[in-house]
């Protein structure tokens, strides 16, 4: 049998996988391959064929669609071709870009003829990472509608911990199908497709395969989702959300690059100054950014105490340096240097380069299939970790600006949403009461633990209580708590004990979660998002403990993620009423940032407030704080 080409590394990997599953069969016999399967892939490259194709297309109620493009960035990409499949092992490819000198259908004619089908919400579409296609179509003034299935999202819901949800991996997992390697068709896959590298027939084969596989996957994955009670989560939350995320990515956010350039110059001057002081303090010049060279200075030259080790040497992280700062001037200088260098390299200097030349704005990617808990992630650039905690860092937020003088930012954030969800699940009397009475939750917890009236809670008491509240959400240990509060291990243990004595509902909830996880092997969120916890019964205490923390945290963090996704969908629907003059720009886990027309700001404010608060009914109130400002710093 002629199995497809598999490189050595992949081959070994597959064999190991099969061994792990107890299979002895030869690799070649196990895997269906592109080369041994009968497929009918049609190249639609003449106007006659296109009209034939069109006749078939308009008769379909559901099909898979896939775009070949010139770039991985949908806001730059141009369409190379479009593939369709509405029957297993059969697909059509319409090239829109071909080698120079070759004839090709006009993109205008093709797009204008298929537009009605693409924009018909009653004609169902399937895709792999279809948010991408949605954005590329939008650049071509086509508003894709009727999306009912995304194989990437389906794979994510079936196993959110999987690292790759690319089509090749999913096809192998659910269809035992080994695709033609992309590299065989168009090179490394990261390069742009140029017609010198690949002729149309090859691209056709690859494009048709993707649409075909996507179509077949939907068929296989749908029952799997039903089995896992995940269909509603996909249809009611994730698929509608994909449109919202595409809209947010499309909108982008304005950046005052001039301000950032000024900040960069200031930082450069400060850094040079600190650098000089560090060299003077050390006695010689070295690379401050190199942990290895720095530890040589700190621990060999200056003979400062060696506080903590890493895998490869001595740690020089902020904790270590803060402790060492008591004994020597250098660690403090390095801390300052590191802080400024971090801000400069990661934000101040990097962000201006991410501005899209066509729109003059920053367009992040919101990834829907990355986190194990159901949260979104943001990348290129990550706009979910813009500094806020230190004054100098916070200044960076001033550079994020609304598009014009008639617009402002509006930010809306959930107040203590994770603890409210904890109160909801645990039905803890004390916690529920505190929220019903709208008490400051950390002060309230401090008052209970220290046994003082809430007005007598000191800032230190509150700080410690806050650390425990965080700890509960993350799954706490006395070590972690003592590390965070500076309390002794003994004190930290006492603190935790008294917390659980007072909040017995929380204790019961934790035990219940762990028991459930042991029994079914997974935990579920508010909207039935699942995460498997295979190590929950591990013999290894460390792994077991980690699994228990993961179990508790996933329910809380994941439910909070579900909740804000529902709110985003509902707000998006409301915004389409058209009376608001507002755009959703960013989601930062418990916060939404909007750009709003000044004259509709009151209206938008109350709508956002309403939709976020009523996204789901908990047994405690949901509180939302809303602020407006002329830049992102002013809305904090």
Q: Please state the closest distance from residue 202 (CB atom) to DNA, in A.
A: 22
Question: Which of 74, 81, 331, 381 is the binder for DNA (CB under 7 A)?
Answer: 381
Q: What is the pattern of x (binds DNA, CB under 7 A) and - over residues 390-409? A: x--x----------------
Q: Please state the closest distance from residue 473 (CB atom) to DNA, in A.
A: 7
CA 225/CA 228 separation, integer angstroms: 5
Residue 131 in tokens: 């948010």
Instruction: Based on the shown chain and the rule CB under 7 A, indicate whether residue 378 belongs to the binding site for DNA.
Output: yes
Instruction: Based on the shown chain and the rule CB under 7 A, indicate whether residue 538 belongs to the binding site for DNA.
Output: no
Instruction: Based on the shown chain and the rule CB under 7 A, indicate whether residue 293 belongs to the binding site for DNA.
Output: yes
In this structure, how many other beta carbons lie within 10 angstroms of the beta carbon of residue 580?
Answer: 19
Question: Which of 321, 412, 419, 586 is the binder for DNA (CB under 7 A)?
Answer: 321
Question: Which of 99, 387, 581, 629 is the binder for DNA (CB under 7 A)?
Answer: 387
Q: For residues 213 and 297, which CB has a smaller minimum distance to DNA in the complex?
A: 297
Instruction: Based on the shown chain and the rule CB under 7 A, indicate whether residue 371 belongs to the binding site for DNA.
Output: yes
Q: Please state the closest distance from residue 315 (CB atom) to DNA, in A.
A: 4
Any bridge partners for residue 93, and if so which?
A: 43, 83
Q: What are phi and psi for residue 358, nearest 5 degrees?
A: -75, -40
Contacts of 38 (CB under 8 A, 6+ apart): 89
Instruction: Based on the shown chain and the rule CB under 7 A, indicate whether residue 479 belongs to the binding site for DNA.
Output: yes
Instruction: Based on the shown chain and the rule CB under 7 A, indicate whether residue 317 belongs to the binding site for DNA.
Output: yes
Give the binding range for DNA (CB under 7 A) out of 224-232, 452-460, 551-559, 608-616. 551-559
Question: Which of 465, 467, 612, 633 is the binder for DNA (CB under 7 A)?
Answer: 467
Longest dimension (CA), the chain: 84
Give the binding range for DNA (CB under 7 A) out of 21-29, 53-61, 373-381, 615-623. 373-381
CA 449/CA 474 separation, integer angstroms: 19
Q: Please state the closest distance from residue 298 (CB atom) to DNA, in A.
A: 10
C-alpha closest to that of 33 among 188, 168, 215: 168
Half-sphere exposure of 69 (CA within 13 A, CB side): 18
Question: Which of 272, 290, 359, 458 is the binder for DNA (CB under 7 A)?
Answer: 290
Tell me which residues in 576-605 interact with DNA (CB under 7 A): 588-591
Instruction: Based on the shown chain and the rule CB under 7 A, indicate whether residue 350 belongs to the binding site for DNA.
Output: yes
Q: C-alpha angle with apex 608: 603 to 613, nearest 5 degrees? A: 135
Q: For residues 15 and 332, which CB has a smaller minimum distance to DNA in the complex?
A: 332
Q: Please state the closest distance from residue 592 (CB atom) to DNA, in A.
A: 11
348 secondary structure, DSSP code: I
Q: For residues 68 and 548, which CB has a smaller minimum distance to DNA in the complex?
A: 548
- Strand positions, DSSP E, 441-540: 522-524, 530-532
CA 507/CA 494 separation, integer angstroms: 15
Instruction: Based on the shown chain and the rule CB under 7 A, indicate whether residue 323 belongs to the binding site for DNA.
Output: no
Q: Please state the closest distance from residue 4 (CB atom) to DNA, in A.
A: 21
Q: Please state the closest distance from residue 220 (CB atom) to DNA, in A.
A: 25
DSSP string, 490-513: HHHHHHHHHHHHH-HHHHHHHHHH
Decide: helix, strand or coil at residue 22: coil
Instruction: Identify the burial level of 296 via C-beta atoms within 10 angstroms of its C-beta, where 0-12 means exposed, 13-18 middle and 19 or more buried.
Output: middle
Question: Which of 313, 404, 486, 621 is the binder for DNA (CB under 7 A)?
Answer: 313
Q: Please state the closest distance from residue 525 (CB atom) to DNA, in A.
A: 13
Is the Cβ–Cβ distance between 383 and 625 less than 8 Å? no
Is the Cβ–Cβ distance between 435 and 421 less than 8 Å? no
Contacts of 489 (CB under 8 A, 6+ apart): 478, 479, 482
CA 356/CA 592 separation, integer angstroms: 22
Instruction: Based on the shown chain and the rule CB under 7 A, indicate whether residue 476 belongs to the binding site for DNA.
Output: yes
Question: Which of 256, 281, 477, 609 is the binder for DNA (CB under 7 A)?
Answer: 477
Q: For residues 49 and 162, which CB has a smaller minimum distance to DNA in the complex?
A: 162
Instruction: Based on the shown chain and the rule CB under 7 A, indicate whether residue 315 belongs to the binding site for DNA.
Output: yes
Half-sphere exposure of 240 (CA within 13 A, CB side): 17
Question: Which of 16, 194, 385, 456 is the binder for DNA (CB under 7 A)?
Answer: 385
Say which residue the tokens 């709508």 belong to.
607
Q: How many chain residues bind DNA (CB under 7 A)?
A: 69
- The H-or-E segment that residue 80 falls in is strand 79-87
Q: Peptide bond preceding 635: is omega within 30 degrees of 0, i.e. cis?
A: no
Task: Name the residues that contact DNA, by CB under 7 A.
Answer: 287, 289-293, 310-313, 315-319, 321, 335, 338-339, 342-343, 345-346, 350, 367, 370-373, 375, 377-382, 384-390, 393, 467-468, 470-471, 474-477, 479-481, 483-485, 542, 546, 549-550, 553-554, 557, 588-591
């Amino acid at each position: 049998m002629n199995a497809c080409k598999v490189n050595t590394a992949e081959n070994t990997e597959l064999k190991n996988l099969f061994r792990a599953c107890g299979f002895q069969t030869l690799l070649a016999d196990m895997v269906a391959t592109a080369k041994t399967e009968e497929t009918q892939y049609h190249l639609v490259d003449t106007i006659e064929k296109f009209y034939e194709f069109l006749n078939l297309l308009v008769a379909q109620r559901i099909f898979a669609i896939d775009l070949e493009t010139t770039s991985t960035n949908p806001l730059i990409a141009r369409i190379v071709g479009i593939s369709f499949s509405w029957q297993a092992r059969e697909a059509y490819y319409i090239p829109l870009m071909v080698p120079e000198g070759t004839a090709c259908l006009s993109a205008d004619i093709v797009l204008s003829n298929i537009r009605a089908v693409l924009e018909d919400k009653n004609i169902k579409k399937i895709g792999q990472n279809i948010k991408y296609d949605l954005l590329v179509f939008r650049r071509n003034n086509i508003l894709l509608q009727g999306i009912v299935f995304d194989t990437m999202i389906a794979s994510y819901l079936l196993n959110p911990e999987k690292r790759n949800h690319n089509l090749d991996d999913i096809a192998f997992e659910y269809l035992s199908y080994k695709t033609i390697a992309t590299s065989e068709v168009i090179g490394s896959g990261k390069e742009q497709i140029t017609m010198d590298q690949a002729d149309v027939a090859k691209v056709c084969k690859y494009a048709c395969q993707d649409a075909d596989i996507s179509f077949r996957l939907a068929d296989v994955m749908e029952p799997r989702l039903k089995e896992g009670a995940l269909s509603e989560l996909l249809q009611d939350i994730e698929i509608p959300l994909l449109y919202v995320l595409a809209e947010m990515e499309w909108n982008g956010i304005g950046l005052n690059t001039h301000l950032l350039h000024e900040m960069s110059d200031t930082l450069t001057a400060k850094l040079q100054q600190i650098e000089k002081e560090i060299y003077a303090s050390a006695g010689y010049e070295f690379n401050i950014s190199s942990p290895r060279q720095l530890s040589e200075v700190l621990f060999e030259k200056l003979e400062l105490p060696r506080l903590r080790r890493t895998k490869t040497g001595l740690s020089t992280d902020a904790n270590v340096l803060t402790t060492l700062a008591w004994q020597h001037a250098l660690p403090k200088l390095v801390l300052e240097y590191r802080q400024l260098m971090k801000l400069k390299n990661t934000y101040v200097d990097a962000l201006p380069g991410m501005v899209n030349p066509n729109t003059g704005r920053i367009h992040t990617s919101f990834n829907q299939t990355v986190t194990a808990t159901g949260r979104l992630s943001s990348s290129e650039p990550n706009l979910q970790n813009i500094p806020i905690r230190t004054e100098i860092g916070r200044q960076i937020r001033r550079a994020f600006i609304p598009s014009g003088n008639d617009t402002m930012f509006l930010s809306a954030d959930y107040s203590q949403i994770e603890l409210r969800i904890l109160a909801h699940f645990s039905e803890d009397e004390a916690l529920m009461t505190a929220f019903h009475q709208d008490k400051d939750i950390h002060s309230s917890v401090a008052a209970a633990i220290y046994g003082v009236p809430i007005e007598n809670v000191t800032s230190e008491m509150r700080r410690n209580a806050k650390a425990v509240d965080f700890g509960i959400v993350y799954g706490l240990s006395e070590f972690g708590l003592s590390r965070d509060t500076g309390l002794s291990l003994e004190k930290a243990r006492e603190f935790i004990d008294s917390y659980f004595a007072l909040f017995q509902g929380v204790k019961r909830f934790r035990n219940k979660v762990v028991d459930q996880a042991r029994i079914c092997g997974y935990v579920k969120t508010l909207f039935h998002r699942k995460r498997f916890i295979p190590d929950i019964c591990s013999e290894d205490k460390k792994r077991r403990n980690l699994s228990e923390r993961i179990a508790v945290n996933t329910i809380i963090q994941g439910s909070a993620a579900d909740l804000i996704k529902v709110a985003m969908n509902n707000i998006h629907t409301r915004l389409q009423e058209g009376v608001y003059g507002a755009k959703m720009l960013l989601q930062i886990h418990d916060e939404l940032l909007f750009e709003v027309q000044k004259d509709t700001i009151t209206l938008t404010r109350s709508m956002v407030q309403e939709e976020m608060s009523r996204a789901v009914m908990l047994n405690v109130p949901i509180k939302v704080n809303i602020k407006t400002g002329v830049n992102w710093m002013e809305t904090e």
